[in-house]
């Protein structure tokens, strides 16, 4: 299991602080590879809010005594004092990011972005942008440079804005024929991600404008077709790097890159570590 966490004032205690409208108190990430199960059970909830993003795999949540399997691309929002029960399983290859926050105006802020009370699960798309914002928050809270508190608030608000935009776009598209076109494209990209895909040729073969397709695809999924294909390639590369069955050159070819050096550069840009460094970090954290 890979994990990276950060806490305000190095305290793991949940707090209720109304000194500012919005305050990030902790954030982190878990990525399960071999650990059988990572459960969380807080029958009385917490004093603060929690937002979780399922970046890969799936997670098992329990609401009102019923289990709900939440897949990649979804956010889960818990409010203060709500019971929290959920599990991650190694076999699901779950990658999750989380942030706890409090403040004097949190409820109004959430409502303004369409995150209204009574709903826990929101589909917001599988975008690398979300992961980047969470990683930046983790780094800011770990390093505590000048104005880090404002930076934390800015990145969290950006996540709220991205969620709201995706919710609004999905609502508009879900009841139109456009959704069928995008769903078909998503299926095609998942099946052929390791092949050379020309977006212009794909759009032309389906009788649609390239610019229209790219725009609608991003509205529906949260990122462009090329970004989506990249996310699938990186996710599958991560899965292959968890063991020593293939070397980096072989993995590069498997996920669709003929040039292993280019693959390494792309992987490091997305994950912050080269493939070799990433594999070492996994091996070091397997016993956590």
Per-residue pLDDT at 68: 94
The number of C-alpha atoms within 13 Å of 19 and in the hemisphere containing its C-beta is: 6
Average pLDDT, the chain: 89
Whole-prediction pTM = 0.71
The DSSP annotation for 151-218 comes to HHHHHHHHHHHHHHHHHHHHHHHHTSTHHHHHHHHHHHHHHHTTS---HHHHHHHTT--HHHHHHHHH
What is the phi/psi pair of residue 246, to 5°?
-130, 145
**Which of 218, 196, 19 shows the shortest CA–CA distance to 127?**
218
Greater model confidence, 111 or 184: 111
Query: For 140-158, what is each residue's pLDDT tens digit?
Result: 999 999 999 999 999 999 9
Domains of the chain: 2-167 (2.60.120.280), 178-285 (1.10.10.60)
DSSP 9: G
Assigned token pair, 170: 């999905």
- Give 288's pLDDT tier (boundaries 50, 70, 90): very low
Contacts of 201 (CB under 8 A, 6+ apart): none
* Enclosing H/E stretch for 55: strand 49-56
Query: For 43-66, what is each residue's pLDDT tens digit?
Result: 999 999 999 999 888 999 999 989
Is residue 18 predicted with pLDDT exceeding 90? Answer: yes
Query: For 77-133, what is each residue's pLDDT tens digit?
Result: 999 999 999 999 988 889 999 999 999 999 999 999 989 888 899 988 776 789 889
């Amino acid at each position: 299991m890979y994990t990276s966490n950060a806490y305000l004032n190095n305290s793991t205690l949940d707090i209720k602080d109304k000194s500012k409208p919005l305050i990030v108190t902790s954030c982190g990430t878990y990525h399960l590879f071999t650990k059988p199960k990572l459960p969380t059970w807080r029958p009385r909830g917490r004093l603060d809010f929690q937002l979780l993003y399922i970046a890969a795999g799936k997670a098992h949540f329990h609401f009102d005594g019923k289990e709900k399997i939440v897949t990649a691309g979804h956010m889960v929002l818990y409010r203060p004092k709500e019971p929290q029960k959920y599990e991650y399983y190694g076999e699901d290859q779950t990658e999750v990011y989380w942030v706890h926050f409090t403040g004097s105006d949190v409820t109004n802020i959430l409502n303004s972005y369409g995150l209204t009370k009574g709903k826990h699960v929101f589909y917001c798309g599988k975008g690398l942008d979300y992961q980047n914002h969470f990683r930046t928050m983790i780094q800011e809270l770990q390093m505590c440079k000048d104005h880090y508190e404002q930076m934390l608030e800015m990145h969290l608000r950006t996540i709220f804005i991205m969620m709201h935009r995706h919710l609004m776009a999905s609502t508009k598209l879900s009841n139109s024929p456009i959704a069928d076109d995008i769903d078909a494209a998503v299926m095609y990209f998942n099946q052929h991600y390791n092949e050379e895909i020309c977006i212009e040729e794909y759009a032309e073969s389906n009788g649609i404008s390239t610019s229209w397709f790219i725009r609608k695809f991003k509205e529906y999924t949260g990122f462009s077709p090329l970004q989506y294909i990249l996310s699938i390639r990186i996710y599958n590369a991560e899965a292959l790097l968890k063991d020593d069955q293939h070397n980096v050159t072989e993995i590069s070819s498997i996920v669709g890159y003929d040039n292993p050096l280019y693959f390494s550069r792309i992987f490091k840009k997305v994950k912050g570590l080269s493939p070799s460094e990433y594999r070492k970090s996994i091996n070091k954290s397997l016993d956590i």
